[in-house]
Amino acid sequence: MTHHDENTATDRSAGPALIAGGVTTLVNESGRIDLSPLVRLAKSCPETDFVRWIHHPVLAGLALQAGSLEERRNRVGNVNQTLVFAFDSAGPHESTTPEALRRAIYPLVKRPGALGVPSVLSVGRLSGNDLVIPDVSISKRHALIEIGSSGWSIRDCGSTNGTLVNSTPIGTKPFPLKDCDIIAFARYEFFFLMPESLYERLVATTSSLPG
What would the mean pLDDT of 169-175 be, rounded to a whole number? 96
Report the share of the chain in percent with pLDDT over 70. 80
Q: Does residue 86 lie in a domain region?
A: no
The mean pLDDT value for 183-200 works out to 97
The mean per-residue pLDDT over the stretch 195-203 comes to: 96
Domain count within the chain = 1
Q: Is the pLDDT of residue 64 over 50?
A: yes
Distance CA 30, CA 139 (A): 15
In a domain, 83, yes or no: no
In tens, the pLDDT along 92-113 reads 565 667 888 889 999 999 887 7
Using alpha carbons, select from 65, 63, 69, 66 the residue that is nearest to residue 85.
69
Q: Which domain holds residue 152?
A: 25-67+97-205
* Average pLDDT of the segment spanning 4-19: 47
Instruction: State the pLDDT at residue 196.
Output: 97
d(CA 183, CA 104): 14
Domain holding 167: CATH number?
Answer: 2.60.200.20
User: Is 89 a member of any domain?
Assistant: no
Cα separation, 183 vs 190, in Å, equals 5
pLDDT of residue 186: 95
Q: What stretch of H or E contains 8?
A: helix 3-21
Per-residue pLDDT averaged across 157-165, rounded? 97
Residue 102, domain member (yes or no): yes
Asked if the structure places residue 75 within a domain, the reply is no
The residue with greater pLDDT, 210 or 39, is 39
Evaluate if residue 34 carries a pLDDT over 50.
yes
Which range, of 87-91, 166-170, 196-200, 201-205, averages the lowest pLDDT? 87-91
